[in-house]
Amino acid sequence: MKTFHRFITKPAAIAVAATAALVITTSGAFAAGTLTPKGSPHAPIAIRDHHVKVTINNGFAKTEVLQTFYNPNDIDLEAVYRCPLPKSASLSEVTLTMGERDIHGEVVERQKAQTIYESEKKAGSDVGLATKDSFKAFEFRVHPVKAHDETRIRVVYYQPVPIDTGIGRYLYPLEEGGTDDPAAFSFWNPVHDAVEGNFSAEVILKSAWPIEQVRIPGFENETTTEKLQDGHYRMLLEKQGQALNQDLVVYYRLAQDLPGRVEVVPFREEGAKEGTFMMVVTPGIDLKPIENGADYVYVLDTSGSMASKIHTLTDGVTRVIGNMSPKDRFRVVTFSDSARDFTGGWVTATPENVEKTVKKIQGLRTNGGTDIYAGLDLAMKKLDDDRATSVVLVTDGVTNRGIVDPVKFHELTKQHDIRIFGFLLGNSANWPLMRTVCEGSGGFYAGVSNADDIMGQILQAKSKIVHESLHDAEFSIKGVKTFNVSGKLPGKIYRGEQLVMFGQYEKGGKAELTLEARLTGEDKTYHTEFEFPDVDTANPEIERLWALDQIEQIELRANQGEMPVRESEDAIRDLGLEYQLVTDETAMLVLADDAFERHGISRKNRDRVARENAAQSARAAAPTPTSYRVDKAKPFTPGNAPRISGGGGGGGALPPFAVVLLLLFSGLAAKLGIRKDA
């Protein structure tokens, strides 16, 4: 904590992640932003300052958030707030500072945590509670926020940060999701989401591989970027009076001509029964462009919640359609309460047809709810078996009309040999459902912040679609017993796709990694050898990331109808308790030490956090990042990893929501024939 506080510009350091949703109430409620219930006599609890510190290293990020509340009222109140849930985020720490005392969190069963929270609140004790609202948000309760006093909260979570076509992307979600979920908190008014004092973010970027450029779009004028002697980057963003309504997106681009590679980040304590590992495979495989024409179906969400995003969607999609090959065909399907064949069937991508369709798309309007199933069902009609077909689904919503059962979505995708590529706009969107739909079809999905560029994201996906892919891909590890491994059956591997796998291993020893796949009808085999260590304690956070990955795999199996719901809930609860993760079945209870003892709650998280902090201090003191590449002596794949080349140069600022982020997409745009004035 002392190291952290040195760079904070005000003594009241701060934050809860994201659209920090605060509510002042004596009974508790939820919302996005700082809110006052209608008719409430109380003044809003203020956000004094907001600070986030991000450390990206070895394929994952640690996000540390600090926030200070101030209660201007004459009575003590309870604060209840939400923050958008980053995908694959493992919440590991919650600390409340009440006066001069810090109290910390332990994960227990959800119902037990809620019961204890209410009893401690009734007794007037200092207490906090962190829960997870499915895929949408973390929810926090704090009691009491004392009259005319400050209360500080510290939140820490971890998440993987994979590389796609040489580009790393980290998202700190601040913007409220804006979905048309009927559970949305629209009855709260007004919203006060501005930070009274200093908003700041520090990003430390460490990489064993050379980095060419870094950027935080939309905050260029407020960001100071420093390249350190060891090749690390430090970005510091400071702004007064910043509203918590714009996501913070950090991009970094690796150097050209980096090799395809296998990296293994292990963790195994001496004498442990098993170790844990994160394996990152960056294939260096020459996947050639597909020369023949293909069919594309664009499935576009026009529900009411898309009102603030429809321009971004239409601009991106029309530009992509405008740069299709005349050999290609396309359809456009729109959906809200129901689905509509917008183009009335297949359209050949001639300049005349493209111009006509683009004008129609630019006139799209939004209203109604979200029936994603109807949109996908209509997209899969009128298919031509003689042509390769890809579906591009763009939505921001939680499906709330028609069929909503994930199992039915999985069954729909299995009826057709068609790849679905999904783009989720904004926060709080239903990414578990999108994963079920896309991965079940052999496609992939990506989140898109409103601070991103939808055209760039779609073009990045198109670079995969218009190149060959590895089919029937399957990994195997021999020589060392491994188990509970995810990602062993990717099915398809696309151009520039980095594969992240988590697993456990019995003990150290020499292992052989093999990938078997088919490329243009020919069987391919790639392999290498490496050592699993008997002892390596440098990255204890890998255990939490593995456990969260297991939870996501369990959720996927349940969504596909392969695992009973009750069985999945029990498994998720057990993993959450063992590895101290906030899940739908668990919660983090924040109490004083004597209260934990009184309730008979063991301090598993305290001990785990101590190990993690000690390892992080050791890594921070190291002069250079550790390289975890294991295939240098015997490369796994023969060539260099694909990368989006490009201009963009060094310093110039790009406007928010730039049509093409030069840093990311200018090279790809050139390859696809996009004019600079397009």
CA–CA separation, 438 vs 422, rounded Å?
A: 6
Among the listed residues 250, 173, 164, 181, the one whose alpha carbon sits nearest the alpha carbon of residue 214: 250
Beta bridge partners of 158: 62, 90
CA–CA separation, 95 vs 130, rounded Å?
A: 11
The pLDDT assigned to 584 comes to: 92
Residue 191's pLDDT band (boundaries 50, 70, 90)?
very low
CATH code for the part of the protein at 2-254: 2.60.40.3680
* pLDDT above 70: percentage of residues in the chain: 82
The pLDDT assigned to 4 comes to: 33
Can you tell me which residue has the tokens 């009826």?
A: 415
Region 358-377: mean pLDDT is 90
> Could you tell me how far CA 510 lies from the centroid of its own chain?
33
Which pair of tokens denotes residue 311? 């321009």
Question: CA end-to-end span of the chain, whole Å?
Answer: 50
Q: Per residue in 414-437, is it b (16+ CB within 10 Å) or e — as a string?
A: eebebbbbbbbbbbbbbbbbbbbb
Interior angle at CA 83, CA 53 and CA 54, nearest 5? 15
Is residue 589 packed enough to be buried (19+ CB in 10 Å), middle (13-18) or exposed (0-12)? buried
**Higher pLDDT among residues 27 and 146, named by residue:** 146
Which pair of tokens denotes residue 79? 């604060």
Q: Where are the alpha helices (DSSP H) in 200-347?
A: 310-321
Going from the C-alpha of 577 to that of each of 526, 590, 596, 605, 674, the distances in angstroms are 38, 15, 15, 9, 51
Among the listed residues 307, 254, 351, 275, the one whose alpha carbon sits nearest the alpha carbon of residue 56: 254
Q: Give φ, ψ of 398 to 5 degrees.
A: -90, 115
645, pLDDT greater than 60: no
CA–CA separation, 447 vs 434, rounded Å?
A: 10
Residue 312 in 3-state DSSP? helix
The residue extents of the domains of the chain are 2-254, 295-465
CA–CA separation, 71 vs 333, rounded Å?
A: 50
User: Quick check: pTM over 0.85?
Assistant: no
Residue 455's pLDDT band (boundaries 50, 70, 90)?
low
> Could you tell me how far CA 471 lies from the centroid of its own chain?
26
We find that the CATH architecture of domain 295-465 is: 3-Layer(aba) Sandwich (3.40)
CA–CA separation, 299 vs 97, rounded Å?
A: 48
pLDDT, tens only, 493-521: 888 888 899 999 999 999 999 999 988 88
